[in-house]
Structures are given as C-alpha cells and as structure tokens.
Amino acid sequence: MLLHAKSPLSFLGGAVFSLFLLYLWRMSSSGFDIDPYLEGKASQKVTDSNENSSAISNETITEPVVEKYSIQDVLSNSTLGFEKILAINLPSRSDRSDLLTLAALQTDIELEWMDGVKGSEISPKAWPAHWNTRTRADGANFTLGELGCWRSHMNALRRVIDEKWSTVLILEDDADWDVNIRSQLAMLAERTRTMSNARHDQSEWITDDTPASNPYGNDWDLLWLGPCANPPGPEGSPTFPGESGSQPHWVYYASGGMACTSGYAVTQKSARALMGYMVDVDRAVEEAMSSFCDHNDCILVWPGLIGSHKAAGGLNDNRNKDSDTGNVNAVSSSDGQGEYREKGTTGNVANSAILAALELWGTKRPWGT
C-alpha cells in the first residue's frame, strides 16, 4: 500500500479550524459587553451559558436610568425640584443680595442672579400702553418703583423663555424662607400631585413610577409660594402642618385676590403666557398676575412658604429698607433719628433662613448680633 504524505496546505487548514474551535469555546465561557447607550446612563451585559455554547440562557440587562417622580430625591437637589431658581436684585440693593446669599447658603440652595430695573431708567416709550390710565383706590398713581418691578419680572420671564428652562422659581431679593423648606415643599408636592390626579383618569395619574422631572405635578401654570393678604382656601382644601406649631398651610387653586410676589414658580409654557398677558398692564405686577390667575391654573399656598424679610436698620426717608416700589416713610422718633428696627423679621416664616444664617455666621459686635 502506498502512503501519501499530507500537503502543507492540509496542515494549515487544520490549524485554522482548531483556532476557530478554540475561539468559540472561549466565547462560550466568558461574557461580553455591549456598547453603552442612552448617553452613557446604562450599559447592557449578556452572559452566555457555560453549559451550552449554542444558546444564550442567562441574560442580565441593566435597564436605562429614568427620572422618576421621587419627591425626596428631587427636592434634595440645590434648586428644590425646579430646573432653576432665579433671584431678581437691584444692583443698588447689595444689602438684600447679601442676606439672600446667606439664606441660600444656610439651606444649600443654588441661585441664578439677574439685575432688577429701576422705573426711572425706563424710557416712557417703553412703558406699557395703559400704564397710569387708572389710579389706585385712593386716587394715587402707581409709582415708578412699581413700574421698575413690572419690568424686572418681565425680564425674568423672558430669561426663562430664552434659556428654555422647564420650571423656574422666581424670587425677589427680599425673599426669605424656613430652614425646613425642603420638608415643607415635600408636603406641598404630595398635595399638588393629588390635586393634579383628581383632574385625570387613574391611567394618567402621577406616581413615583411616572417618568418625569417635576415633583409638583403638571396641572399648574403658576405656583404661588409667597402670597400675602389671602384668606384660607375653600373648605375641604388640602392642608399640611405649619412649622413650630404655626397654623397649617392651605393648598388650593386660586383665582384673583392675590398679592405679593416674593416667590412664585412658572413653567416654560406659562412663562410665555404670563409674559404675553403682562406686556400691557395698567396696574402693579402683583395685581396683573392675580388677574392672570382668573383665567389660568394657579396653585396658591396660604400662609406662604416664602416671605418678605424686613431687615434691621433705619426706616425713615432714604434709609427706608422696606420699600423700593412705594413712597413709604416711617414716622420719625422724638430724637429726630427716625424709626429703627433692631432685628430683622419675616412674616409667616417660623424659622427664618436669614436669621439662622446671621446667628450662625454673624460675629459678636459691640452693638449686638
């Protein structure tokens, strides 16, 4: 019998085939990674069975991370569950920006600043068409300070629109809040979501498993957190406890009658509507916003969670710290120095963030703390 020697090509083919089988065995005994997806938020890993290399029997897939309506998680951020917090401050009122900065530091809140506007700096050509075509109930005209306040809030709304922010809390520079603001807002968010759900079928209800980014629900155009002069809400309105034994807070849809704009929130959609509504006004900005709520969904908290801080200091004439919009002068004292407030105060706020910050960081001074 003749034996035929194998050609070099035969040996080469066998080697390649053996390497291929080795590759399959290696793949069947180890896992492999799929490229990350959804902007790097998650990756997918599939592990093959060690017992059967012909099929995938064990799959471990990490689901994409989705933002939830987790009240505690969202409110723990530095903007209280809103995309931004915008603070309006007149450059000339550095005293107010100082205090607002300290309050924000005390409660771990991040502020975006923007300059306020003085009414005296606005050209009459830029005044609203119907400005001062009506007077107050006492017959007086609205002031240049109130005109500047209107322009400042219009600029804030325009900033929201230009930046395309989804939700924004807008603060005036005299704003103050409780050191427990996050727990208060958590209770508020639970109630605003319940109010929102009551308007929809159960299939559309907002729960902690609902993908979204707004913990306060979606059925509001203006969330008025710093009102004044309002009565309690209608009977049966949701409430939550006040701080340190203070009266409960009512939460309800309001129409008209609101005053004070220390703090309120808007959405991208409602910022456009409110700016359009207030392009032409014949009254103070708070009255115009209150009128806006006659035709839109405004949720009001009463008493408010954000108050207007009355700072320590002189109150007479050009030392009046309380008003940039009115012509309010304190009655002079008998010594001719005018009225003086020894310590700041904030109405409806049980544990002022400003006063807590001053107590924590303020140094002992010869004239007090």
**Residue 344 falls within a domain, yes or no?**
no
Nearest Cα to 262, choosing from 313, 294, 305, 208? Answer: 305
Looking up tokens 């070099």 gives 8
**Residue 186 falls within a domain, yes or no?**
yes
**Residue 151 falls within a domain, yes or no?**
yes
Peptide bond into 303 cis (omega under 30): yes
pLDDT tier, 327 (very low <50, low <70, confident <90, very high otherwise): very low
Give yes or no for residue 117 having a pLDDT over 90: yes
- For 356, half-sphere exposure in the C-beta direction (CA atoms, 13 angstrom radius) is 16
Q: What is the pLDDT of residues 94-110, one digit of tens each?
A: 999 999 999 999 999 99
Tokens of 58: 């064990």
Q: What is the mean pLDDT of residues 146-157?
A: 97
Distance CA 339, CA 61 (A): 70
Q: What is the mean pLDDT of residues 187-211?
A: 74
Distance CA 145, CA 325 (A): 4
Number of domains in the chain: 1
pLDDT tier, 15 (very low <50, low <70, confident <90, very high otherwise): low
Tokens of 31: 């896992």
3-state secondary structure of 259: strand
CB-count burial class (<10 Å; 0-12, 13-18, 19+) for 242: middle
- C-beta neighbour count of 151 within 10 angstroms: 20
**Distance of alpha carbon 260 from the chain centroid:** 18
**Residue 289 falls within a domain, yes or no?**
yes
**Residue 111 falls within a domain, yes or no?**
yes
**Residue 37 falls within a domain, yes or no?**
no
pTM: 0.75
Q: What is the mean pLDDT of residues 226-251?
A: 85
| Domain ranges, residue 161 | 71-309
pLDDT of residue 137: 73
CATH number, domain containing residue 224: 3.90.550
pLDDT of residue 259: 86
Contacts of 364 (CB under 8 A, 6+ apart): none
Give the C-alpha distances (Å, rounded to integers) separating 360 from 97, 227, 313: 18, 28, 20
One-letter amino acid of 328: V
Look at 18 and 284; give whichever has higher pLDDT: 284
Pairing of the two strands 222-224 and 298-302: parallel
Q: What is the mean pLDDT of residues 143-170?
A: 96
**Residue 6 falls within a domain, yes or no?**
no
Most confident of 53-57, 234-238, 304-308: 304-308
**Residue 15 falls within a domain, yes or no?**
no
Q: What is the pLDDT of residues 214-232, one digit of tens each?
A: 788 888 999 999 988 767 7
In DSSP notation, 284-328 reads: -HHHHHHHHTTSS-EEEEES-SEEEEE-SEE-SGGG--S-SSS--
Q: What is the length of the chain?
A: 369
Beta bridge partners of 94: none
